[in-house]
Amino acid sequence: MRKDLGKQPAVFPMPVLMVAAYDAQGTVQVMNAAWGMICDRDKVALFIDEDHATTKAIRESKAFTVSIADKDHMDVADFYGIATGNTMPDKFAKSGYHQEKSAHVNAPIITEFPVAMECELAEITETDNLHVVVGKIINTSADEKVLSDNGKIDPMKLNALIFDEFQAGYYVATEKVGQAWNAGKELMKKASE
């Protein structure tokens, strides 16, 4: 039997993304964002409020990075979500983490996180119902420790954090259960007969 739970953002899993940009003073502004997704082969969309210090920095610098948070760095990833750059000056420095300027865009790569998409600001869309920052992915860089033998990112080595909107938990996916564009081939074959 189904039970009504009222209005809930019932999407699982959600990513744990570290969004970083330089502000006008060159200070790293960084935030934890679960409401983000790929919206084209070369674009990422972040559904983040305009009042975040990081959003303001993106508007100023016209560039940002999106890193995938992993299990080994969960504490700092969570800190970036609960501390705000609007009231805590230089929260990035207080985390003790390190950054290097992207060679491709004017944005910081947080070196502790294993994967980073380096983006130019493509557009910001604002309506009554939404504020979305869209970035054009110029480059993706990854620590070699999370690459497979074929040179691609290996999800099992990445240990990417997954956010649970239901219980406010962090999880890690650790089992591959099928192959995309293959698991449904038999059903496709039957449906085509």
What CATH number is attached to the domain comprising 127? 2.30.110.10
Residue 175 in this model has a pLDDT that exceeds 90: no
The full length of the chain comes to: 193
pTM across the whole model: 0.94
> Residue 81's Cα: distance from chain center in Å?
12
- Distance CA(138)–CA(105), nearest Å, equals 8
Query: Could you give the number of structural domains in the chain?
Result: 1
pLDDT score of 75 more than 90 = yes
Q: What is the pLDDT of residue 173?
A: 85
Which pLDDT value is given to residue 193?
A: 85
Please state, in angstroms and rounded to a whole number, the distance separating the CA atoms of residues 160 and 156: 8
Within a domain: 5: no
Q: State the pairing for strand pair 43-46/36-40.
A: antiparallel
Residue matched to tokens 């559904």: 47
Query: At 136, which helix (H) or strand (E)?
Result: strand 131-142
**What residue type is assigned to position 173 of the chain?**
A
Q: Report the pLDDT averaged over residues 37-53.
A: 95
Could you tell me the pLDDT band of residue 166, with boundaries at 50, 70 and 90? very high
Which range of residues forms the domain containing residue 125?
Answer: 14-191
> Which residues face 163 on adjacent strands?
14, 170
**Residue 140 included in any domain:** yes
Residue whose entry in the numeric block shows the structure tokens 């935030």: 31
